[in-house]
Chains A and B, each alone.
Chain A
C-alpha cells in the first residue's frame, strides 16, 4: 500500500469516528453552547493527536517511504479528491450560507457549516482511497 494511501486511510477513519461521535451527540441531545464548544474542541484535538501518533508510528515502521515526495500518481489522485470534494463543499456553503439563514440561526448554522466541512473532507479522503484501490486513469 502506498504511503499516501495509508495516511489517507488513517485520516478518513479518524474523521469518521471522531466527528461522527460529535454530530451524533449534538443532534440527539440538546446541549448548551459552551458544552458544544468544549465538545468540538475536544473532538478536534483528539482527532489531530490520534492522526499524528498513528502516522508517526507507521512512518517509523516504513522507514524511507514516509520521506519520499509524492510522485505523479499521488498528485493525480490528490487532485481528483480535491476536485470532487470542492463540489460537496460548494453545496454545503450554499446550503448553510444561503438557504439555512431563512429558518435557522446560532449553533444550528455553526454545526451545519462544520458538517459541510467534515463531509467535504470525508469525500476527499474517500475519493483518494478508492482511487488508490480501484485505480485511476485521469
Chain B
C-alpha cells in the first residue's frame, strides 16, 4: 500500500456552515464531539458512510471535504 494520508477541510467548512460546532456536527451524523475533533486533527479516518454523512450535512461533495494526499 502506498504512502499517503487523508486530509480534510472540516474546520473551514464547519465555519462556513454557520459556525457549526463539533458537537452539532457530531450529533447530526451520530458520532461524539471528540470523534469530530479527532477527524479534524487527522487522528482518525472516518468510515466511508460517516464521510458521506459529513459531506451531506455540510452540503458539499465528498472530495470537497476529504482529500487524499499521496
Q: Which A positions have Cβ atoms within 8 angstroms of B?
A: 1-3, 5, 65, 68, 71-74, 76, 134-137
Contacts and interface: CB of A to CB of B under 8 A. Distances in A.
A1 B47 contact: no
B35 A72 contact: yes
A137 B44 contact: yes
A71 B30 contact: yes
B31 A72 contact: yes
Contact of A2 (B32, B42, B45, B47): B32
Interface residues of B, number: 15
Contact of A73 (B6, B41, B42, B44): B44
A2 B34 CA distance: 6
25 contacts: A1-B34, A2-B32, A2-B35, A3-B32, A65-B32, A68-B32, A71-B30, A71-B32, A71-B35, A72-B31, A72-B46, A72-B47, A73-B31, A73-B32, A73-B34, A73-B35, A73-B38, A76-B44, A134-B43, A135-B41, A135-B44, A136-B43, A136-B44, A137-B6, A137-B45
